[in-house]
Structure 1
Amino acid sequence: MLVRERIDALIDPGSPFLEIAELAGEGLYDGVPAGAGMVTGVGTIAGRPCMIIANDATVKGGTYFGMTCRKHVRAQRFAWGNRLPCVTLVDSGGAFLPDQANIFPDEGLFGSIFHNQVGMSADGIPQIAVVLGTCTAGGAYIPALCDEVVIVRGLGYMFLGGPQLVQAATGEMTGAEDLGGAEMHSRVSGVTDHLAENDAHALAITRTLVAELPARTPERWHRQTAVDPRHPVDGIYDLISRDPRRPTDNRAVLERLVDGGDFTEFKAEYGTTLLTGFARIGGYQVGVLANNGVLFTESALKATHFISLCCQRDIPLLFLADVSGFMVGREAEMAGIAKAGAKFITAMSSASVPKYTVITGGSYGAGYLAMCGRAFRPTAMFMWPNGRAAIMGPDQAATTLALVKRQAIEKGGGAWSADKEEAFKAPIRAEYEAFASAYNFARNLWVDGVIEPAETRQTLTLLLDLAARTPACPTQFGVFRM
């Protein structure tokens, strides 16, 4: 069975599969398609949401590149944060040796997979491995560190060193079956726990193991009956700004995203370039922060107040980001924009409630950070296909660098024509536009994926349902500069 056929056979018929990092690694490696040789996502197995991590042996033998490691680690951390059982479909040749600098030495790479497995086990999160092919070197430790291991007779093999390496290292001549076959590990070494006859049998055993896991914890939030939005969800496409210099109307987006289109706004007359308020998605209450222009001092102070309310009431936060950044200039600086922005970032970073970020347009500079950018570890983060993010917009970057260049030329007594200036700015704009693309962010795993705007509501409902089973954690705020 191919990797997606295995996943289809594993999850409940007709149930959704929320794929994570589908585009990771796209275009980054020669001969490696999007996904970096692995499929990860949340699927329902025997009525239980689980994180599924599946090697694709058709891509370089299921070996791990740097991006494969990062994707595996991201899937584990998502599972850990949402307390999801991990089911790993192992079919991997271990590390792709030429890429060792991006696989071996640092935190967040291959070693972190093992570290996370140990930590998740200590935290009581079930882990099941299904050995469906050859698992070599580090690939053998992944199942060995799981709670239970299923292996397929005649297809599944586990060894720290394959027959060739053993011969080179010790001179011993041995075959794969004797060295690490399913029969040996099930009857002699005890490394595996369940012996299957084929892929389908192994996946059926796995479904039984998941069904026997302890019951899920009760929901921490009261979930009301879900109500359709006031306007059709696909109407969002009519709202998306085609001009990157003009933001999307996030207030209108909310009417097509939240239950009944009902948005109870907080401080509606103050700091109007940031919308804050309460709504429900799929019956779950959320605290929404949605951009409505550049961030001013008042906007940042409002955000700080609102986030503290949501933390006190244990309400998840949803950030709809479409912002060019914080206001700059003498008047803004005198009004304490840096101090107010620091309060906003402190509140957002400290908040221990689930946090979800969706970039609906452009998200630049410190505005990207304040709206719960990747550095602040949102529970999940997605971009719409039109989404963009960068340290600044293409025009601003080109103009800023051109001004520096012009000042240097004129200081030396030279002159710079408009044509030469435009020739200087054009490649800078192109570079920033390519960098800011949603697909560039997805391929580099700076977001969890690119989602269709019309699927945003369904995706958030699923994510909130997962978070509802996690324990509440009190928030301890950092120092707020007054």
Structure 2
Amino acid sequence: MQPFESCVDTGSAEFAENRAAMLDAIAQFRDAERRPLDVAAEKSDRYRQRGWLLPRERLNRLLDPGSPFLELCALAGYRLYDDADGSGAGGGAICGIGRISGRRCMVRVDNYAVKGGTISPAGMDKALRMQQIALENHLPVVTLAQSGGANLMYANETFAPGGRGFANQARMSAAGIPQVTVVHGGATAGGAYQPGLSDYVVMIRGQTGMYLAGPPLLRAATGEIADEETLGGAEMHCRQSGSGDYLAENDADGIRLAREIVATLPSEPRPQTARDWCEPRYPEEQLLGLVPADSRKPYDVREVLARIVDDSALLDFKPEFDRQTVCCHARIEGHTVGVIGNNGPITPAGASKAGQFIQLCEQSGTPLLFMHNTTGFMVGTEVERAGIIKHGSKMIQAVANASVPKLSIVIGGSYGAGNYAMCGRGFDPRFIFAWPNSRTAVMGAAQAGKVLRIVTEQKMRRAGAIDEAALDRVEQDTAAFMEAGSGALSSSARLWDDGIIDPRDTRRLLGMLLEICHGAELASQRTNSFGVARF
């Protein structure tokens, strides 16, 4: 593979303008991420008086010191449902992948400091997404539980998906994926089944309360009067019911026990040989100025790749056959990848080229990396006659059926069926992240406004009167609505991606994700029929 020679003038006014726009977009999503932290900090004294560690403090004690933590879906539910101020970002939990006692694990820490850790529909979607990632990548799951349960305002939307979460727990246990839960606070009704379905359960003396019906409901339903400790305290469950396996003295002690349990699990499989690689020839800082602030301006996706892949080296596949869909082989931190990127709409030739390239990567077991920046499939008489539907369908079939790990980074626009062909959320990429400038929608805001204007004008014409002012309002309102709902913050809030990232972190992120995928291939799980049960 030959190093790519960049043609970007990093000293130009345009580059500086692009960089400023990207830094502004980064600041916006960082502000959104900080909002739940600020709310938790405001309540810290109250919780410390009770002897509780704050959710982020629990997370820090759980993870190996100095090890990286890949937070996932940090903006799930941002300004959706009843989250008027953005403090509900995260959907009631802090989730991600990190190392515990040297073992890479999926981690969930209920964020009880914000709205009691109650679960909105977005929070439920996030929980199911974490389970999917753990299952696909053979990651043990460690949960630090203290949640108010489902947000009752939206209980009708979370009840059925909640059942899927319990089913997933049972299937993960049967698949040989260990689940460790520390019950830091109350766990009532359905919430009691989350630890109940875990393989290892740690309870905290004088703090844990786990029951199918709490004291008030018990009294209302049966007339029986019982205090919390007698009904479902940690000592009772560890000494009598057997629902608890380990009894801890406080938050820190419970987390210590969780770390020791993880230390007893089989070691994470490691590759037999170490990987060597060269850093890119161009600094990651330049990624800030590569993407035009004006999304209508084209740029070469290879310029982005040159700041991400090893030695900035690419091997283009069929570079002369279609220049708008880029397919190439590269390496990232020593991992071989097949990259598909966009320099424009997807043409019939581009779809055929990408479909063939995907099959070649499937044949060689090479992971696929999709770098989204497309308005979608080309439209018009010429491409219809060239079979755009037929060739586009073949590309979509190849993306859907490829079994190699698929990673997606949305670095620009990802519109219409182009999002599907580039392995958007609906096509189950192993991981999908977005740059803060990205946009995901059925079509661009301006195009949507024009489409609705044309449709409305046709209706007016049939009625015999055309109101230009009304047409202007329809076009402008539609464009504004689409613009507001297609940005990175809106997409991430709906879990259309696994998080927004600073472009400068792209290479490190991809290196970690490829290592996780490779580890999943090496892992050997000891499966059984029903999972581990408590007797």
TM bracket (short chain): over 0.9
Say yes or no: does 1:399 pair with 2:463.
Answer: no
Instruction: Return the letter of the residue paired with 1:208.
Output: E
- Give the structure 2 partner of residue 322 of structure 1: 373
Q: How does 1:90-129 map to 2 (within 5 A)?
A: 90-105=145-160, 109-129=161-181
Query: Is residue 77–residue 120 contact of structure 2 (8 Å, CA) maintained in 1?
Result: no
Instruction: Return the letter of the residue paired with 1:27.
Output: R
Query: Is residue 223–residue 283 contact of structure 1 (8 Å, CA) maintained in 2?
Result: no
- Between 1:434-443 and 1:91-100, the stretch displaced more is 91-100
Q: 2:289 is paired with a residue of what secondary structure?
A: helix
Give the Cα separation in 2 of the matches to 1:468 and 1:219: 8
Instruction: Return the letter of the residue paired with 1:147.
Output: D
Instruction: Return the letter of the residue paired with 2:251.
Output: D
Give the Cα separation in 2 of the matches to 1:60 and 1:253: 40
Give the Cα separation in 1 of the matches to 2:123 and 2:474: 37
Instruction: Return the letter of the residue paired with 1:160.
Output: L
- Give the structure 1 partner of residue 407 of structure 2: 356
Q: 1:35 to 1:260 in 2, by over 3 A?
A: same
Instruction: Return the letter of the residue paired with 1:153.
Output: R
Q: How does 1:295-310 map to 2 (within 5 A)?
A: 295-310=346-361
Q: How does 1:330-479 map to 2 (within 5 A)?
A: 330-417=381-468, 419-471=469-521
- Give the structure 2 partner of residue 18 of structure 1: 70
Query: Is residue 95–residue 138 contact of structure 1 (8 Å, CA) maintained in 2?
Result: no
Q: 2:519 is paired with a residue of what secondary structure?
A: coil
Q: Deviations over 1:90-129 (max 9, x none)?
A: 1123222231111113xxx211111110111111011101
CA positional deviation for 1:243: 0.5
* TM-score computed with the length of structure 1 as normaliser: 0.94
Normalized per residue, the structure richer in helix is 2
Give the Cα separation in 2 of the matches to 1:470 and 1:37: 28
- Give the structure 1 partner of residue 94 of structure 2: 39
Say yes or no: does 1:160 pair with 2:212.
Answer: yes
CA positional deviation for 1:216: 2.3
Q: Deviations over 1:218-254 (max 9, x none)?
A: 449x763132111001101110110122244311000
Instruction: Return the letter of the residue paired with 1:161.
Output: A
CA positional deviation for 1:299: 0.3
Say yes or no: does 1:86 pair with 2:151.
Answer: no
Of the candidates 135, 138, 150, which is equivalent to residue 187 of structure 2?
135
CA positional deviation for 1:30: 3.1
Give the Cα separation in 1 of the matches to 2:255 and 2:364: 41
CA positional deviation for 1:471: 2.9
Q: Deviations over 1:401-438 (max 9, x none)?
A: 11112222223332343x54333211111011111111
Q: 1:450 is paired with a residue of what secondary structure?
A: coil
Give the Cα separation in 1 of the matches to 2:104 and 2:510: 15
Q: Percent identity among equivalent residues?
A: 45
Q: 1:286 is paired with a residue of what secondary structure?
A: strand
Q: How does 1:278-289 map to 2 (within 5 A)?
A: 278-289=329-340
CA positional deviation for 1:214: 1.1
Give the Cα separation in 1 of the matches to 2:223 and 2:473: 64
Say yes or no: does 1:146 pair with 2:201.
Answer: no
Q: CA RMSD in A?
A: 1.6
Q: Deviations over 1:61-108 (max 9, x none)?
A: 222222221111111111111110000111123222231111113xxx
Higher RCO, 1 or 2 (CA under 8 Å, sep at least 6)? 2
Query: Is residue 240–residue 249 contact of structure 1 (8 Å, CA) maintained in 2?
Result: no
* TM-score computed with the length of structure 2 as normaliser: 0.85
Task: In structure 1, list runs of 5 or more residues that go unmatched.
Answer: 474-482
Give the Cα separation in 1 of the matches to 2:428 and 2:295: 26
Q: 2:159 is paired with a residue of what secondary structure?
A: coil
Query: Is residue 248–residue 360 contact of structure 1 (8 Å, CA) maintained in 2?
Result: no
Q: 1:194 to 1:440 in 2, by over 3 A?
A: same
Give the Cα separation in 2 of the matches to 1:247 and 1:472: 40
Give the Cα separation in 1 of the matches to 2:371 and 2:166: 34
Instruction: Return the letter of the residue paired with 1:137.
Output: A
Query: Is residue 135–residue 177 contact of structure 2 (8 Å, CA) maintained in 1?
Result: yes
Moved over 4 A (4+): none
- Give the structure 2 partner of residue 208 of structure 1: 260
Instruction: Return the letter of the residue paired with 2:257.
Output: I
Instruction: Return the letter of the residue paired with 1:229.
Output: P
Query: Is residue 248–residue 361 contact of structure 1 (8 Å, CA) maintained in 2?
Result: no
- Give the structure 2 partner of residue 479 of structure 1: none
Give the Cα separation in 2 of the matches to 1:274 and 1:150: 52
Q: 2:182 is paired with a residue of what secondary structure?
A: strand
Query: Is residue 88–residue 115 contact of structure 2 (8 Å, CA) maintained in 1?
Result: no
Give the Cα separation in 2 of the matches to 1:121 and 1:70: 20
Give the Cα separation in 2 of the matches to 1:95 and 1:395: 39
